[in-house]
Amino acid sequence: MYVKFAELPVFDQERAKAFYTDRLGCRVTADAPMGDDGWRWIELGLPGATTTLHFNRRPDEKPSEEPVMVLVVENVGATVESLRDKGVEITTEPQEAPWQPGTTVAEFRDSEGNHMVLSSG
């Protein structure tokens, strides 16, 4: 079993699309109109993964309080530095996860203020 797509709450689709393609290296797999209000169905493919991301409409610019996604990466420290170099806000530096000894985690925010977690496992 695998996840077909994960929904991310966003307020500004263009800003979010630019963030995920420019800073996280995602590729656009779908971008089509959805009705008359300008909202679009946008799917983004994560590098090296079969999962795609979909932007779910959020009514305002209030960011999520809890993490909306965990990205598992080979090297959390190197990924943090790469994201930092691209202007991404790192909110928690790499550290051992208190809930899972031996696992390194860090946190960052996307263009919409959503909380994201990087994890080594």
Question: What SS3 class is residue 64?
Answer: coil
Residue 84 reports pLDDT greater than 70: yes
Residue 68 pLDDT more than 70? yes
Using pLDDT thresholds of 50, 70 and 90, give the confidence band for residue 86: very high
Q: Please tell me whether residue 19 adopts helix, strand or coil conformation.
A: helix
Domains of the chain (ranges; CATH) run: 5-119 (3.10.180.10)
pTM, two decimals, is 0.77
Mean pLDDT of the chain: 89
pLDDT 10s digits, 91-115 = 999 999 988 889 999 999 999 999 9
Helix (H) or strand (E) holding 8: strand 5-10
69 contacts 95 by C-beta, under 8 angstroms: no
Structure tokens that stand for 60 in this block: 């305002």
Other Cβ atoms closer than 10 A to 50: 9
Query: Percentage of the chain surpassing pLDDT 70?
Result: 96
51-67 pLDDT, tens digit per residue, is: 788 888 888 888 877 88
Query: Residue 2's pLDDT is what?
Result: 42
> Residue 101: is it exposed, middle or buried by C-beta count within 10 angstroms (0-12/13-18/19+)?
exposed
pLDDT at 1: 33
Q: Can you give the C-alpha Rg of the chain in angstroms?
A: 15
